[in-house]
Amino acid sequence: MSKLAWWQRGVIYQVYPRSFQDKNGDGIGDLAGITARLEYLATLGVDAVWISPVYPSPMVDFGYDVADYCAIAPVFGTLGDFDRLVAHAHELGLKVLLDFVPNHSSDKHPWFTESRSSRDNAKRDWYLWRDPAPDGGPPNNWLSRMGGSAWEWDALTGQYYYHAFLREQPDLNWRNADVRKEMDDVLRFWLDRGVDGFRVDVLWLLIKDALFRDNPPNPEFKAGEPDHHRQLQTYTEDQPEVHDIVRSMRATLDEYGERVLVGEIYLPVPQLVSYYGPNGDGANMPFNFQLIGAPWNAAEIARIVSDYDHALPLHAWPNWVLGNHDNPRVATRIGARQARVAAMLLLTLRGTPTLYYGDEIGMTNGVIPPDRVQDPAELRQPGIGQGRDPERTPMQWDGSPKAGFSSGVPWLPVSGGDSVNVIDQDRATSSMLTFYKRLLALRRSEPALVEGAIERVMAGANVLTYERHVGSERLFVALNMAGTDASIEIPQGTVVLSAMEGHEGKQIAGTTLLLAGDEGVVIRVSPES
């Protein structure tokens, strides 16, 4: 495994900073809180912490509206707090990834203030400005991902500006060389402070059609979907020129040694894998989100795993994700018992896994009363299920009313739930947290689970099976993705991990095994099998 980079050997853990740990009692998580919990992450067995945005921001979209790319929002702390976090993480052997938000800034960013001050300002072309259509309306039909037109009228200069998200988040013009230079300097600012890589927000959206052509209608649009799904995003995403930007970012990171560039990209696999670059000079890992929205059955997961593995270029390293700050939690999507099976899947597939905070204790979506809704996606498009607050509720450290998250009033309600907290689960041998620790320890100790190939991916009776092997070492994985027992064919060997307590060490001598409902096993295959 020494030939692999740290990000290929390791496991990434995403922290949503507002919700992880509040140190100063204002009800909002902060950098000092994350620092105080780094020992927990090291003990859990992960290798890197990815921190969602902590830049100065009006917080219209909770940090994804950046007002200064080279500073820390006071609500999260100071640059000194950030430096202490990085230093302590490195002392513990943890890497630190920072969220980078290059597609758009806040409308309060000094760059945009200058850009909108006059048509002849030097920074006018740093954003996307267009004259009205002949009827005085928006320049074209492009829609915002937060609802309504993506064009906002500016009376002062008599033009519209483009925003893929909220009107308070104007899109930067990545065709402008000065913008590229400035953003490269931002990367270097944080790399110089010791960060080990970046997760790049909406990487596939950075370039828009140079001719600003109308998007065509989406013939498969269904009522109740987000408004922008009415159109095919033909001219507003995945433009050919975006790959030049990705290569440039990667080149900057490569100057600093073993750093990692992870891209947020929601695209079908054939387009997704192009972001690795034709020569492996693109993103180290374009995020693979297929497990988040997949129908939870063995046949479909087997197809996804096989198709993805076959689609990867030879130079590409795979990755898998079960959840994040934009999607319902896995335990809510498939239930608590299958969440264990999903954890086994995530941590035994070929490639780098990314965990979302709280999934290791089985946190479910929180219930957010209407008067406590914070997410602008829900506030501006009520009733379409776009609200992301339920998966962003405070981390549950203990069983107290505030879950050990804060001494103040948490910014979102604590989700609650019997024993769904770190303290209680750390004491229980059968808990989800204990299971995650065993899974992570197994992955760390077994080269086949890190560098090994994946073969014989099959599905039958709603049981997913596959093998991981390197050299003469073979591991057989069987995951029952239903609640009913199933008999499966297996090789001879020894159970090294089971989703059910007490099965480890069991010798498998026969050719079949009755796998209980919601059970998963990892078997070390005997050499003679």
The pLDDT assigned to 384 comes to 62
What positions carry a catalytic annotation?
201, 255
Three-state DSSP state, 19: helix
Yes or no: say if 492 and 443 are a contact pair by the CB < 8 Å rule: no
Yes or no: say if 44 and 432 are a contact pair by the CB < 8 Å rule: no
pLDDT in tens, 353-362: 999 999 999 9
The pLDDT assigned to 360 comes to 98
The contacts found for 263-269 with CB under 8 angstroms, 24 or more apart, are 263/199, 263/200, 263/203, 263/204, 263/287, 264/199, 264/200, 264/201, 264/202, 264/203, 264/204, 265/203, 265/204, 266/204, 267/204, 267/237, 267/238, 269/307, 269/308, 269/311
The pLDDT assigned to 52 comes to 98
The pLDDT assigned to 502 comes to 63
Above 70 in pLDDT, residue 485?
yes
The pLDDT assigned to 504 comes to 72
The dihedral sign for the CA sequence 103, 112, 75, 60: negative
Mean pLDDT confidence for 204-217 = 98
Yes or no: say if 502 and 477 are a contact pair by the CB < 8 Å rule: no
What lies within 8 Å, CB to CB, of 492 at 6+ separation is 508, 509, 510, 511, 525, 526, 528, 529
Q: What does R_g of the chain's alpha carbons equal in angstroms?
A: 24
Phi, psi (degrees; rounded to nearest 5) at 520:
-130, 145
The pLDDT assigned to 86 comes to 98
Above 70 in pLDDT, residue 386?
no
118, 259, 260, 434 from 123: Cα distances, Å: 9, 31, 31, 53
The pLDDT assigned to 418 comes to 79
The pLDDT assigned to 511 comes to 84
The pLDDT assigned to 9 comes to 97
pLDDT in tens, 47-65: 999 999 999 999 999 999 9
Domain 452-525 superfamily per CATH = Golgi alpha-mannosidase II (2.60.40.1180)
Above 90 in pLDDT, residue 417?
no
Mean pLDDT confidence for 107-118 = 98
Give the residue extent of every domain in the chain. Answer: 6-105+177-440, 110-162, 452-525
Largest CA distance in the chain: 79
The pLDDT assigned to 510 comes to 73
The pLDDT assigned to 229 comes to 95
The pLDDT assigned to 454 comes to 97
Strand partners for 263 = 200, 286
Residue 93 in tokens: 């052997």
Above 80 in pLDDT, residue 412?
yes
Average of per-residue pLDDT values in the chain: 95
Work out the pLDDT band at 509, boundaries 50, 70, 90.
Answer: confident
Work out the pLDDT band at 2, boundaries 50, 70, 90.
Answer: low
Mean pLDDT confidence for 18-44 = 98
Work out the pLDDT band at 378, boundaries 50, 70, 90.
Answer: confident
The pLDDT assigned to 225 comes to 87
Domain 110-162 superfamily per CATH = Oligo-1,6-glucosidase; Domain 2 (3.90.400.10)
Residue 492 in tokens: 């001879």
The pLDDT assigned to 527 comes to 87
Above 60 in pLDDT, residue 1?
no
Mean pLDDT confidence for 186-196 = 98
**What architecture does CATH give domain 6-105+177-440?**
Alpha-Beta Barrel (3.20)
